[in-house]
Amino acid sequence: MPYGEPDPQDPTVLIGVELPVNEDTDVEMAYVFAEEFARLGFSEAQVLDLFHQPYYAGAYRALGTLGEPRIREVVRETMGVWGQSRQVVEDAPQTSRDWDVGLDALQPRGAWGHER
């Protein structure tokens, strides 16, 4: 970390400051994340996975506080309503007259472009 430790004498640094918290804050946060991602087209498994990712700090915190069974319940309830998006797998066009590079050239290759 490039920062020094927070100076406890600095009156503007929030250390041990009490913040108002509502009892259902975490539950509400869990519902919001589940709803928003369901509306974006995530599947139930993808939304659950989001709650397990530490980088999604909000969802991750909700999982830690509320526990796996409660989160599953929230996600299932949310998906029942908002998870209506249909997943359609659409392939890219195979050829184009304007392109001089075939799509096969975009297939994954080994390191430094060599064939695996």
Binding stretches for another protein (CB under 8 A): 1-3, 12, 14, 19-22, 25-26, 28-29, 31-32, 36, 39-41, 53-58, 61, 77, 80-82, 84-92, 103, 106-107
Nearer of residues 91 and 115 to another protein, judged by Cβ: 91
What gap in Å lies between CA 110 and CA 101, rounded to an integer?
A: 19
Smaller CB distance to another protein: residue 69 or 98?
A: 98
CA-CA distance, 7 to 36, in Å (whole number)? 38
Rank residues 68 and 85 by Cβ distance to another protein and give the closer one: 85
Q: How far is the CB of 9 from another protein (least distance, A)?
A: 15
Which tokens go with 104? 């096969």
Q: Who contacts 38 (Cβ-Cβ below 8 Å, separation ≥6)? A: 47, 78, 79, 81, 82, 83, 85
